[in-house]
Amino acid sequence: MTAAPATPVLSAIVVNWNTRRMTLDCLRSIEDDCAAIGHETIVIDNASTDGSPDAIAGAFPNARIIRNAANLGFARANNQGIAAARGRYLALINSDVIVLPGCIAEMIRELEDHADIGLISPRILDSRRRLQPNCLRFPGYWNRACETTGLAKAFPQIEFLGDTHVSERRHDRTRDVDILTGCFWVARAEAVARVGPLDENFFMYGEDMDWCRRFRSGGWRVVFHPAGSAIHFGGASSSTQQTRFFIELQKSILRYWRKHHGRIGWLYCAAMIALHQVLRLGAGAVSYALRPSRRGDIRNKLRRSAACLAWLAGARSTQTG
């Protein structure tokens, strides 16, 4: 009789959608960092057409690959990985992330030292090794207004006028936060079992705000721990379809407001998004006239704002009709 395999300490979960090279680099960094940690690697492929699944299977024969017939989105695909995972800790890592040495061990150490932490994330760096802030405040009526009107950008040193972003200077030490952006999480499996998986109504974007809120509401700490680091390149899947993914972001923001602030909150947020896009169109038109060398980039942003307003008009009619 064959003995059952030992329960791994960690289950690393990576969702791939047409990011073959980056996913291979991500998985290699995970394997290197987890060499001394009992772990399993689960890759969920969302119907890639770039040969990713076969390349991953060839390079990482021990990885489990779930091949979806369609792009199921970020939340649903990660939930497939969560359902298949056996580890005490679950690392949900974006395919465009490189895990730096010692990072995952440091996250696990902090989780084992503090049994009340449900979700933790390391320091995130951009491709030039500069800090990429990944801590946010919960969205609310006031900080949404500050973001829309530009007060947050005009007075970045005044915390009262801030938006949801937490300043770089507050990424200096381990601290409890409202939200950790979803490029790299390590979750306690016990906490996930109680809180529940990601909300699959969020196709992509927004699920991080919702999940962190549910962890906090369930009595679990959400912690930023800069003792470990990872590089996040960002936008790997969305860079070629910027307008589509920009609108998807607005959908997710509104879905979060509808879920946690009700219909009035949804209407308020929709009005703020509309106002913000109108202001962007006005500023963009001025820039287009005054900066001919950047007209190509400005034109794309104008189209994106116009497309968002057109979509929002239809979305509002369904809520108010």
Domain positions in the chain are 10-134+171-232, 138-163, 242-320
pLDDT at 230: 98
Residue with tokens 């998986």: 197
pLDDT at 319: 60
pLDDT at 213 over 80: yes
pLDDT at 5 over 70: no
pLDDT at 4 over 60: no
How much is the average pLDDT of 39-61? 97
* CATH of the domain spanning 10-134+171-232: 3.90.550.10
pLDDT at 321: 46
pLDDT at 44 over 50: yes
pLDDT at 315: 74
Categorise residue 231: left if φ over 0, alpha if ψ from -120 to 50, beta otherwise.
beta
Percent of the chain's residues with pLDDT above 90: 75
Categorise residue 299: left if φ over 0, alpha if ψ from -120 to 50, beta otherwise.
alpha
61-98 pLDDT per residue, tens: 999 999 999 999 999 999 999 999 999 999 999 999 99
pLDDT at 241: 62
User: Could you tell me which residues come within 8 angstroms of residue 34 by beta carbon, excluding any fewer than 6 positions away?
Assistant: 10, 12, 104
pLDDT at 197: 97
- The answer to whether 185 touches 194, Cβ cutoff 8 Å, is no
Among the residue ranges 7-11, 273-277, 294-298, the one predicted with the least confidence is: 294-298
pLDDT at 296 over 70: yes
Measured CA to CA, the distance from residue 81 to residue 44 in angstroms comes to: 7
Residue with tokens 């009262």: 160
How much is the average pLDDT of 274-298? 89
Q: Which of 127, 98, 101 is closest to 36 using CA atoms? A: 101
pLDDT at 25: 98
pTM comes to 0.89
Mean pLDDT of the chain: 92
SS3 category, 60:
coil
122 falls in which pLDDT band (50, 70, 90)?
very high
Beta strands 184-188; 10-16: pairing state: unpaired
114 falls in which pLDDT band (50, 70, 90)?
very high
pLDDT at 7 over 80: yes
